[in-house]
Chains A and B, each alone.
Chain A
Amino acid sequence: MAIQEKCRIEDHKQVGPRHYKLTLASQYLASHAQPGQFVNVRCCETSDPLLRRPISLHRIDAQKGMIELLYEVVGRGTELLSKKPVGQELDLLGPLGAGFKIDPAKKIHLMAGGGMGIAPLRALAEQVTGRGSRVAGQAVYILIGAKNKESLIGEDELRKTTDQVQTATDDGSAGKKGVVTDLLLDFLDSQLSVTSYPLSVIYACGPRLMLKAVAEIARQKKIDCQLSLEERMACGIGACKGCPVKTVSGYKMVCKDGPVFDAKELVWN
């Protein structure tokens, strides 16, 4: 169950050119949220900008009663959010939506993040590896794509969850030159045996075109695949029918039925 609550800002740091990491105190969110779920954040108390902004849970620390958000300033809402000082309270609605499903039968976890799509992968990787104390027989590989070196955010943090992190940038200023799907294809073709495909699962979050390409790769190679989608939102709780995505069984709501969907469910056009 989600709740609306005011959470104290415990830490708020700039971690990239337009990127921030926000730590909030919430025992409730920290003990109830699942990787892939999100919170709907009220960025200001006035009516402009009016709506809440959806942000994924980057880290979920039940022991400390803290959650972390990782976000990029792209417009007025996130700009206002970035100005909020430590000690102030932030109005959050969450945890919302359906997150990633961790199938115990899968041993190889491939996580692909494009741009800010890496945000939910930290929480997911921590869940799969059991917060550092590596679960035997589980392998986590993280593939990150970004525009350039500066916007390659969170790599160091993700390396804390697994030593298998690969990066790519559009301009080649860090990691491999190319996009995250290049890394994925390369990995599947040269580093993973075909016999391991049934034991593998791909989780991806990022721009729509990237997700479409990942879905196609997963379909061709018959690998299970979960995608975290984005859509413009108003309510965030399934009430307004404002955030549809086409699926094989008609429109579903990204905020309620997702944001994480099985790739096989989605219809691309």
Chain B
Amino acid sequence: MELAGIELKNPVMVASGTFGWGREYADYLDLNKLGAIVTKSITLLPREGNPPPRIVETPSGMLNSIGLQNEGLDYFLKEDLPFLAKFATPLIVNIAGESAEEYAELAKRLSRETAVKGIEVNISCPNVKKGGMAFGVDAGLTKEVIAAVKKATSQPIIAKLTPNVTDITVIGQAAVDAGADALSAINTLVGMAIDIETGGSRLGTLTGGLSGPAIKPVAVRMVYELARAVNVPVIGIGGIMSGGDAAEFLLAGAQAVEVGTANFVDTAAPLRILAELNDHVHRHPRALNLS
């Protein structure tokens, strides 16, 4: 299937940050069978990440504060890309930065790589120049960063939206106006967990990002709103654990999905979900009019 100029193998991809650099899961499932591989967010320079604890389990979900730990673009190009390039599965590289220029530089250098078939822009990151407000909570900042990426690359651009906003369609439209070829939603919801013995945060940082089944209803609602507001494809993300969950996103208007936290619970999750989805479509051909 085709999505915004990317030739996906099927509608089930893996979500950024939950599948490492692919390598970590290669022993457990055939990477060639995934719809696409989306890498963890890559930054221009290496990032050490946040202090532990970085993970707290919450009811039907988890909070994380990884802090975008990664080795930076040069390391990725040298060490991880050659491995990922060996697979027939399209590779979508997720990028994160602290300024529009940084995003643009990442996009420019990644576009030179033939193995890269698309760029997913993680706009949930704080804009360091503008006092740390996340790009993705402001329509103007979203436009600025997506426009900068658009200028730097001819690759298909997926803007990955944060749910921590009042009206996600406003941000989605801003991203499309600036040249996004598709939208993916949602990233994690900002949350907190307090240790009632110590009174402090249960994470090494004050807040973290909530993911997993707990966020699915919020994600389905946001995908539904986006799909009706914009004229580019929407990729659904958030708490997908089964083929039924994936079907729910497709019914809400998504054209494809990304599987995240489920990878931690079941190393075969994306392929199991794909099989369940196909089975579901088979049994309900009219409910899901897929092409």
Contact = CB atoms under 8 A, between A and B. Distances in A.
Interface of A: 1-4, 42, 47-52, 93, 231-245, 250-251
A47 B48 contact: no
A234 B64 contact: yes
Given A239-B18, A250-B48, A2 B61 contact: no
B263 to A, nearest CB: 7
Contacts of A238: 20, 24
A242 B49 CA distance: 10
A150 B212 CA distance: 38
B54 interface: yes
8 contacts: A49-B57, A234-B55, A235-B20, A240-B66, A241-B69, A242-B66, A243-B52, A244-B51
A93 B53 CA distance: 22
A240 to B, nearest CB: 6
Interface in B50-106: 51-57, 59-62, 64, 66, 69
B212 to A, nearest CB: 6
B66 A241 contact: yes
A2 B29 CA distance: 12
Given A4-B267, A93-B267, 7 more contacts: A3-B27, A50-B60, A50-B61, A50-B261, A237-B267, A239-B263, A251-B48
Interface of B: 17-20, 24-25, 27-28, 40, 48-49, 51-57, 59-62, 64, 66, 69, 212-213, 241, 261, 263-268
B265 A50 contact: yes
Contact of B28 (A4, A48, A231, A241): A4
B45 to A, nearest CB: 14
Closest 10 CB pairs of A and B: A239-B20, A239-B24, A242-B55, A47-B213, A47-B60, A235-B264, A234-B264, A232-B55, A241-B69, A48-B60
Given A3-B28, A237-B267, A47 B55 contact: no
Given A232-B52, A241-B69, A51 B64 contact: no
Contacts of A93: 267
A131 to B, nearest CB: 29
Contacts of A239: 18-20, 24-25, 263-264
A211 to B, nearest CB: 15
Contacts of B54: 232, 241-244
A159 B57 CA distance: 37
Nearest to A42: B265
Contacts of A4: 28, 266-268
B212 A244 contact: no
Contacts of B59: 48
Nearest to B46: A250
Nearest to B67: A241
